[in-house]
Structure 1
Amino acid sequence: MTLIDFSSDAFIAAFFLYCLAFTFYGVAVMGKRFRKRDPEVHLAKWGKIAFYTAVLGLIGHLTYFITRWIWAGHVPVSNMYEFMTFLSMSIMVAFIVLYMLYKKSLLGLFALPLTILIMAYAAVFPQEVQPLIPSLQSYWLGIHVTMASLGDAFFAVGFIAGLMHLLRTVNFSSAERSDRKEQRWLEFCMFLIVVMIGFMVSVYSFRAAGYEASFSQVQWNEKLQQDQTVQVEYDMPPIVSPYNSETIAFDSFLGMSKPLFQAPSWMEGINAARKLNTVLWSILSGLVLYALIRVLLRKPIAQFIQPALNRLDPDDLDEISYRAIAIGFPIFTLGGLIFAMIWAEIAWGRFWGWDPKEVWALITWLFYSIYLHLRLSRGWQGKNSSWLSVLGFIVVMFTLVGVNLIIAGLHSYAGTE
């Protein structure tokens, strides 16, 4: 067994330990309903078991990270697979830090699913150790990316605590207009989470089925100043085909023997149409999965989850959310902006270039600046603060994932093909 094989095995072990820890959290919350013993004792016992299992998972995750670093010869954060695996590990680190401060074990009930989802999402991308392109061959790679993702990880825990606060406090029994509005927006947040799950289910399903389709696309080559024909490969049924393309191979799916439409001409890049196709499949899969869940639960997902959080103090959740964001903000400021600009000057000869990822990193920073200002100066606490923490993490995820899927830029080299 090579070191890289051992690294992969450690990653898989961490994934299953996280899944086991999440199961134990489920036993802690749901099992107390079916036992005659003191619910608080039951919750404390299984909460500790779940926490220590999650710690073992983090040890496996760290083992993966260190051994891959040794094998690759550089910090393994240079593509989407490596970055998302590091982000998921950082979320666990942030969760454990906040757990040590507040001893709120049930944070893991939400932190672990987010970690598991991000690990599963990472596995969608190529996992081979790749040589660094010239612009990445710098020690600033590790400094910038690791600190930025660690800041994002604390934002993620802030989101988790904020979401739990909303799940705990939104009044589902009320028919008041303001309460109904909160119910709808909270359920929309649940839908977005289901869309992410639906995306991964569809990707893994089509890969397991060996689905393939390919197109020849004529593109204008700026360097050669002439048209160039390229081949575009799909591993999901093409709802949308590349602009100005012809079909080479197409596996029929559910009676669909050709794409429904072509991508618009303004979508540039060889992967643009395929990324749009991925977004469309994510939404469709999410809609189907959400409908199935609603049929099974016979009530909104948020309303179904709420009883599990009744024993948590909303004020504690609000404080944890704020504290996590307050810790993450200076870390993100250093990693996501200051160190990023220093590296940009070294790599590209300018501190700022309005690249889409740079712009959205700035939007993220400005959003959390506003959050802290409203929290500290205007007294925005409780639900107002929690809604901002949820919205902020949506901005974070669009910066990390959406920009790569939708917008082409200098940061699109990170394994999104």
Structure 2
Amino acid sequence: MNVDHTLASFSDYAFFSAFIIYSLALVLSVVFYIKRQGLVDLERERQEHEDVASHEHQLVSVGSDSAPVAADSTASSASDMSDDAEKKIAGLIAAREASAEKFAGMTQSVVWLGIMVHVTSVVLRGLSAGRFPFGNLYEYITEITMFTMIVAAFYLQRKDLRVLWPWVLTPILALLFFGGTKLYVDSAPVVPALKSYWRAIHVGSVSIGASIGMVSGVASLLYLLRMWQPVGKEHGFFGSVAKPLPSAKTLDAIAYRTIIVTVPVFGLGIVLGAIWAESAWGRFWAWDPKETVSLITWMLYAAYLHARATAGWRDAKAAWINILGLVTMVFNLFFINLVVSGLHSYAGLN
């Protein structure tokens, strides 16, 4: 089948445009993140003022029995000063919060624009060659980053979770940059071994599961950072970085809820791949490097779920298992595809 080079060119333009839009979203999200850091400091300063005022009021109340007139005058003066300070801080917090929310809203809007352009790139790539765009490693990375952004965009709509965008966009942009510069290949028909309806089903399931797993892995990484830098007890450089993050409990919940979806979807993709292998190679399982590491990744995700349900493991131990699963997935994506030879070696070619 002939390739429509016009559509292929438009797909490439859309890919580049999506990268630029995501980059803009990253800049906006970093500005929002920095503003949230300042807001955290202001809110804690207000809390300190309230605690001091409360303590002073208690001291004045204790002395009111012996000198009621003087005590009333002192209490009134202290109360006026405290009210003025609180009003000033409250006004500053309201102004900065409004400014921060503008950047949060802009980030969310730009992200959705980037997703629409990203989806357009994937669709046009498939239409240009008259097939599903899952035929090589460049297309797979384009697809897996697309699904990751869609999942993140829906999940991070909550206002208290929008601070996580810099942590999601940074690895996404790194993957897109590497895929677009080092792995790019022209649109073309796939090799005969990939001309099967199983390709769309198998690769689609694996990529969706892996995309959700990426979100879960990032959440576990941030959970460990927050456990190291608890709310209100942050210190040093990493403490400053961790200030805007949600609580460890919230981050752990994100990691757990997303992996609940990853395990069955990713596992289904492996099973469907085995069925395809039986029809293509005459056996369900060949211990090929790519399928073996994929199975190890799924087992780690399943082990994480088991650890989260086991007393004594519902802490950093379980999170490390999830992160190890993310590492093996990335290892499979790059090292196995680009270095190790196997039955899946054609995944990096057209």
TM over 0.5: yes
Say whether 1:319 aligns with 2:323.
no
**Deviation for aligned residue 1:415:** 2.3
Q: Which residue of 2 aligns with 1:374?
A: 307
Distance 2:336 2:178 in 1: 15
- Whether the 8 Å CA contact 2:304–2:319 is kept in 1: the answer is no
Task: Please give the residue correspondences for 1:11-410 in structure 2 after superposition, counting only pairs within 5 Å.
Answer: 11-31=15-35, 36-38=92-94, 39-100=96-157, 104-123=161-180, 124-171=182-229, 304-311=237-244, 312-335=246-269, 337-378=270-311, 380-410=313-343
**Deviation for aligned residue 1:345:** 1.1
Aligned counterpart for 1:5 among listed residues 1, 6, 9: 9
1:109 partner amino acid: P
Aligned-pair RMSD on alpha carbons? Answer: 2.3
**Deviation for aligned residue 1:315:** 0.7
- Whether the 8 Å CA contact 1:318–1:381 is kept in 2: the answer is no
1:329 partner amino acid: V
**Deviation for aligned residue 1:34:** 7.0
**Deviation for aligned residue 1:163:** 1.1
2:198 partner amino acid: W
TM-score (structure 1 length as normaliser): 0.65
- Whether the 8 Å CA contact 1:81–1:126 is kept in 2: the answer is yes
Q: Deviations over 1:64-106 (max 9, x none)?
A: 0111111111111111111111111111012123224786112
Distance 2:36 2:157 in 1: 24
Compared with structure 1, are the counterparts of its residues 102 and 78 closer, same or farther at alpha carbon in structure 2 (3 Å cutoff)?
farther
Q: Deviations over 1:229-277 (max 9, x none)?
A: xxxxxxxxxxxxxxxxxxxxxxxxxxxxxxxxxxxxxxxxxxxxxxxxx
- Whether the 8 Å CA contact 2:303–2:321 is kept in 1: the answer is no
Q: Deviations over 1:307-357 (max 9, x none)?
A: 23324211101100111111111110111x111011111211111111111
Query: Which secondary structure does the structure 2 equivalent of 1:10 belong to?
Result: helix
- Whether the 8 Å CA contact 2:152–2:215 is kept in 1: the answer is yes
Q: Runs of 4 or more off by more than 4 Å in structure 1?
A: 32-37, 100-103
**Deviation for aligned residue 1:126:** 3.2
Q: Deviations over 1:114-159 (max 9, x none)?
A: 1111111111113201221111001111111111011011110011
Distance 1:52 1:373 in 2: 37
- Whether the 8 Å CA contact 2:338–2:348 is kept in 1: the answer is no
Distance 1:52 1:326 in 2: 28
Query: Which secondary structure does the structure 2 equivalent of 1:58 belong to?
Result: helix
Query: Which secondary structure does the structure 2 equivalent of 1:397 belong to?
Result: helix
- Whether the 8 Å CA contact 1:80–1:415 is kept in 2: the answer is yes
TM-score (structure 2 length as normaliser): 0.76
Q: Which residue of 2 aligns with 1:207?
A: none
Q: Deviations over 1:177-208 (max 9, x none)?
A: xxxxxxxxxxxxxxxxxxxxxxxxxxxxxxxx
- Whether the 8 Å CA contact 2:337–2:348 is kept in 1: the answer is no
| Structure 2 unaligned spans of 5+ | 40-91
- Whether the 8 Å CA contact 2:226–2:248 is kept in 1: the answer is yes
Distance 2:294 2:20 in 1: 32
- Whether the 8 Å CA contact 2:135–2:190 is kept in 1: the answer is yes
Distance 1:382 1:99 in 2: 23
| Structure 1 unaligned spans of 5+ | 173-301
**Deviation for aligned residue 1:32:** 5.1
Kindly name which structure, 1 or 2, has the bigger radius of gyration based on alpha carbons. 2
Distance 2:203 2:161 in 1: 29
Structure with greater strand share of residues:
1
1:413 partner amino acid: Y
**Deviation for aligned residue 1:405:** 3.1
